[in-house]
Amino acid sequence: MKKINLLAVTVLFAIATKAQQFKFKPLDVSQADFAYFPERSVKESVGDKATPLIKIVYSRPSAKGRKVFGSLQPFGKVWRIGANESTEIRFFKNVILGGKEIPAGTYTLFAIPEKEKWEMILNQQTDTWGPYGYDESKDVIRFSVQPKQLAEYVETLSIVFTPQTSGANLVIGWENTYVEVPIIISN
C-alpha cells in the first residue's frame, strides 16, 4: 500500500512539474533602462533617506549603422523617445517644465524631432506602446528645445540628468545629436 501511495505522489508531482513548464522571452534588442535625478538617490542606503526627484524609464535602441534622425526617425513625426513602450517620466515633486508648473506624477514623454528644433511633449496618458496610442488631447505641455551636435558618436540611445542650480537638465543623446530639457524643481 505504501508503494502505491509513493507511486501516486511521484506521478502527481511529475504532472504538477510538467504543468509549470513555460518559456521565457528572449532578450529584447532595445533593453529597458532607467535614469534618476539625483543619480545616486536610489543607490543610497535606506538610512540616508535619499529619494529621487525625477525618474525616467525608456528603452534603448541602437543605430546599427543607420542614419537615425531624418531617416529611421523621420522629421516631423511623433517619437516615443526610444523603442517599445513609450518613455515615461515621473516627477516626485512639482516641477517647472517649458515654463509651466507641472504637478508631481507620472507622464509620457514624446518628441517631434526636426532639423532645427525638437518639439517636446509631456502627455498624461501612460502605459502606451510607442506613438501608436498617442492622444494629442492628453498633452499637458508642448515646448521647443534646440538640437545640438555631439562631440562623439552615441550608438545606443542614452538619457542622463545633469545637475543645475535649481534642478536638472534631462539630456537625450543618440547618433550625433542631443537635446537638453531644463527641469526646475519646485520647493
Share of the chain above pLDDT 90, in %: 70
Nearest-angstrom CA–CA distance, 118 and 167: 21
- pTM given for the model: 0.83
Contact status, residue 79 vs residue 180, Cβ threshold 8 Å: no
pLDDT at position 154? 96
**CA Rg value for the chain:** 22
pLDDT in tens, 147-170: 999 999 999 999 999 999 999 999
Instruction: Give CA–CA dist 11/162, Å, rounded.
Output: 60
Residue 123 near residue 110, CB atoms below 8 Å:
yes
pLDDT tens digits for 133-143? 899 999 999 99
Residue 19 per-residue DSSP state: H
pLDDT digits (tens, 9 = 90+) for 24-71: 778 778 888 899 998 866 655 555 566 899 999 999 999 999 999 999
pLDDT of residue 151: 95
